Amino acid sequence: MSAVVVALEAAAQTANTFAAECEKVLKRHEVLQIEVARDITLDIVRELDAITERGREDAIPPELLAEGARGCADLANLAACALPELPSESFPSASAAVHLATGAVQALRIVIENGAGRNSYALRDARSAAWRADIAARQMSSQKPGK
For 119-132, how does the pLDDT look when each residue is reduced to its tens digit (9 = 90+)?
588 899 999 999 99
SS3 146: coil
Least confidently predicted of 26-35, 39-48, 101-110, 112-121: 112-121
Is the pLDDT at 146 greater than 60, yes or no? no
Over range 42-53, report the average pLDDT: 94
Reported pTM:
0.89
Fold that domain 3-141 belongs to in CATH: Methane Monooxygenase Hydroxylase; Chain G, domain 1 (1.20.58)
Sign of CA dihedral 70, 10, 85, 88: negative
